[in-house]
Structure 1
């Protein structure tokens, strides 16, 4: 018999770990924007571990959101007292735990209420997971103050709608009241995420109050961090599995791999929870770790995503069981990525890649190829193009990464090798389809997307192999093209 997840029913749950700490004694210390699956499988789990040790109980989480989907999430979580079932799945084990570090969530769209909570002296950290595409950056990776949403916040600073406008308004309220500023901690999967977040907050405030923008730049901490845990989207499949396997009726459980990692720069002037006691690495400079992860893991996801998508492979572990895809990943990583990743303290990059392959091959995660193919227009410039550029700087021709780029282009024509229609899978899907179809006769049409490729269209060491592979994909199909690249 399933048990409806809520605080009153915790004692009746027998097939999952439940919080042993007194949740009524928790006090808010963190306000988090973007209470999605990754946040609840990562930051919230680390805090739950710490709370179980009897520490950090004044750093409970209050959620916040600005997207329409956040309202549905708030309704579901509020109905279960902000508890979440986290199901960790490894090749050899599956285990569930109910986590309880979140104690409230602000009404979505209620700017004044959110700003008021941001001004609360108890809030010492504001964290966020707003996705790679949520930082309003231009083709060069710089903050774009001309974006309509940001421009509107600049024109109406007292009534902001974006995360960055709200954070700025909260900091303004604290400055006026003589309250020390909170630390702003990005948990998104982007290079130098603290620096990028600083640019977004400062840039938004500069539109209405340049002096205050300077004050933020000089007085507010934005530590960089590297986060890692594979966390697929929740579907009816996971909801049903949670009920059938663990007897828990959870409206939005989170399924994830067992592995998790968090590397943070230790810059928290108003204090922080002692997360080092539960496995978080605090380092002076997170750059080597984030470069390693973004190039090898996220780049690896892109490498397997598009050939698998074109070959109608559904799950990520099935892609790793597909010989051509697995060998393509191996060759591109070892030829084009590992040689140009800078050294990482106390880390063997080859061993790290072997770990990544084992994680990709985990059959219990249920991660989908479609999810990996999602939002390439935002992900390719961050996960693939930097490796291309570094190869060129080193005098190397990145043939495998050129093929990866051609596979993305071919995927964006909107039809698989078997003729199956690919449903829209990118915020810029219509434009990508137009560019991909134009590239059938003129490959430079694809590379002319400077927001993705910069000036690579004019670099023959990349443009020529890209054109060669794209033509071969059209003529021979994905499988035969992979065989040519692999030397079969």
Structure 2
């Protein structure tokens, strides 16, 4: 008999799994978080839950906020269980669960007035966000695009904004007018220099309606960069059933994740912050080496295995790692074209880090899907793969393997696997990508003409030629034979 998760049933659940021992009724919100998804609840919320268990930081509880229609389902499900979450950590050798409780509310979705009022609350010291890599309105060069229709609309209606960045600006404006010190804005997304990118979006949106105010934000508001890491698949019926059957907890939206987690932050929080260093967060003067390491090796590695595995009809990520050609493709590409061009990381051996990444990818308990890794390539490729291409070219090296990865992405976007199975839309720009991928069958440069992804790489023969050659081979011989050729096994 399962127990429905709620504040009133915690005593019953205690003993089945760990539950909060701190008094949640005495928590007060000090953090407003945009984008209450699985990653946030498996990462930032878990660190705060651990800190609250020490008796510290209880004035830094989380209040959630959302601007997308999809956020409503999360609000409905979490509010019905008093904003509690069952977090299930799955390592290769163990599985454990804990109910976490650092969230105390989620504001009405897309309610600008309610969100701005909370942002103006002096108790809010930090505004954090996980809005995905594609949610920052940036072009292929990583530059904020103020002409995007959603941003332009906020510029015309600054008192009733609809984007996260318009809302943050409106909240800061309200605080400034009331003489309240600004909060710190903390991005938790997988983007190089995420604080800098977030700052550009907030300042750029404000500049559309008030240049002096935009300058005030640029000069007075802190946007620390951070590196976040934890593999966290989407929740499906599989996880909900497992939580009920294995732990006796009826949780409408449990979070399943790997045991490993990492958070590296620049220590720039003028309004104050919780003592997260006491629960494993690394505070450093410059996060750049850590984020480069993670984004290139882990996120880039995800892309490397995703598209060949997807084309070969492999479902789970651990199954991709059990597929000899895919695993060897990852090894060769990482060791020849990614690890060698990465700068040193303090107190870190890159080879050891890569070995850890492979172990994490191979974890059979996570249930992470290849389809999730293939998602949103148009936003992920320019952040996770293209920088490694450019750095190899700068170092005088021909990025043959990275050209193959790009060709595999193009082939995947034709929308059909090697077996003839249809690939369901898997990118916000899916229709355009499919059309372009089909055009690339006769003209490979049609794919590289996506300047928002590749910049000017179409004009770089050291990349464009191997890309065209690999794409032709994929069309002629298929994924398996092409991988064997790259690996020297043909």
TM category (shorter chain) comes to over 0.9
Alignment of 1:58-73 (within 5 A): 58-73=59-74
Deviation for aligned residue 1:6? 0.2
The reply on whether 1:157 has 2:158 as its aligned counterpart is yes
Runs of at least 4 residues off by over 2 Å: none
**CA deviation string 1:439-459 (max 9, x = no partner):** 111100000110000100010
Deviation for aligned residue 1:138? 1.5
Distance 2:73 2:138 in 1: 27
The residue that corresponds to 2:9 in the other structure is 9
For structure 2, list consecutive stretches of 5 or more residues without a partner in the other structure: none
Alignment of 1:201-350 (within 5 A): 201-350=202-351
Deviation for aligned residue 1:141? 1.2
Alignment of 1:30-49 (within 5 A): 30-49=31-50
Distance 1:424 1:184 in 2: 33
Q: Secondary structure at the match of 2:70?
A: helix
Q: Secondary structure at the match of 1:68?
A: coil
For structure 1, list consecutive stretches of 5 or more residues without a partner in the other structure: none
The residue that corresponds to 1:453 in the other structure is 454
Alignment of 1:109-258 (within 5 A): 109-258=110-259
Distance 1:358 1:473 in 2: 29
Distance 1:37 1:483 in 2: 37
Deviation for aligned residue 1:92? 0.4
Deviation for aligned residue 1:140? 1.7
Distance 1:304 1:11 in 2: 44
Distance 1:74 1:420 in 2: 35
Q: Secondary structure at the match of 1:347?
A: coil
Deviation for aligned residue 1:15? 1.8
Distance 2:487 2:373 in 1: 23
Q: Secondary structure at the match of 1:30?
A: strand
**CA deviation string 1:205-239 (max 9, x = no partner):** 00001000000000000000000000000001100
Q: Secondary structure at the match of 1:15?
A: coil
**CA deviation string 1:337-373 (max 9, x = no partner):** 0000111000000000000000000000000000000
Distance 2:2 2:318 in 1: 30
Distance 2:284 2:319 in 1: 36
Distance 1:8 1:422 in 2: 44
The residue that corresponds to 1:401 in the other structure is 402
Distance 1:136 1:25 in 2: 38
The reply on whether 1:366 has 2:354 as its aligned counterpart is no
The residue that corresponds to 2:103 in the other structure is 102
The residue that corresponds to 2:439 in the other structure is 438
Distance 1:56 1:360 in 2: 33
Distance 2:140 2:96 in 1: 42
Q: Secondary structure at the match of 2:108?
A: coil
Deviation for aligned residue 1:73? 0.5
Deviation for aligned residue 1:16? 1.0
Distance 2:141 2:332 in 1: 29
Structure 1 vs Structure 2 CA RMSD:
0.4
Deviation for aligned residue 1:139? 2.2
The residue that corresponds to 2:80 in the other structure is 79
Deviation for aligned residue 1:158? 0.6
Q: Secondary structure at the match of 1:223?
A: coil
TM score, norm. by length of structure 1: 1.00
Distance 1:114 1:481 in 2: 52
Distance 1:261 1:418 in 2: 38
**CA deviation string 1:318-351 (max 9, x = no partner):** 0000000000000000010000011100000000
